[in-house]
Amino acid sequence: MNLASNRILTDDVPELVAFYERILDATARWATPVFAVVPAGSGEIAVAGVETLSFGNTPGIAEPRTNRSIFLEFEVDDVDAEFRRLGEGAVREFVLEPTTMPWGNRSLLFRDPDGNLINFFRRPDAD
């Protein structure tokens, strides 16, 4: 089994796609005006408009901007360098500035425009 992507449902696809393009330094592939995929290493972040779920008998199965339990994690080469890069206007809300966690990971937590939590981290043994 292979995790193909993480999909984020939003009510503003262009804004969220532009955000992920900036933070991941990648270019999105647009399938339709309401669905795009941003490459992220071996995986990808899919961004979809709420209208992509308006088929069949599925009202209310997902609601944008309501995630409070899952966050996306990206392993990076240099957490502190990423913090400086993202602080130049890409990120509006940092939750945790670069910090070495008790288990050794260096982590940076921030939110995307929809409020989803993101962790850029580096494992201590990655060097």
For 116, the token pair is 């989803």
- CATH T-level assignment (fold) for domain 1-49: 3.30.720
Give the pLDDT band (50/70/90) at residue 121.
very high
DSSP characters over 8-70: EEES-HHHHHHHHHHHHT---EEEETTEEEEEETTEEEEEEEGGGG-STT-TTS--TT---S-
In the numeric block, the tokens 């966050």 are attached to 71
- What mean pLDDT, rounded, does the chain reach? 93
Domain ranges of the chain: 1-49, 71-127
pLDDT tens string 22-55: 999 999 999 999 999 999 999 999 999 988 887 6
- CATH T-level assignment (fold) for domain 71-127: 2,3-Dihydroxybiphenyl 1,2-Dioxygenase; domain 1 (3.10.180)
Neighbours of 42 (CB within 10 A): 7
Q: Give the pLDDT of residue 45.
A: 97
pLDDT at residue 57 tops 70: no
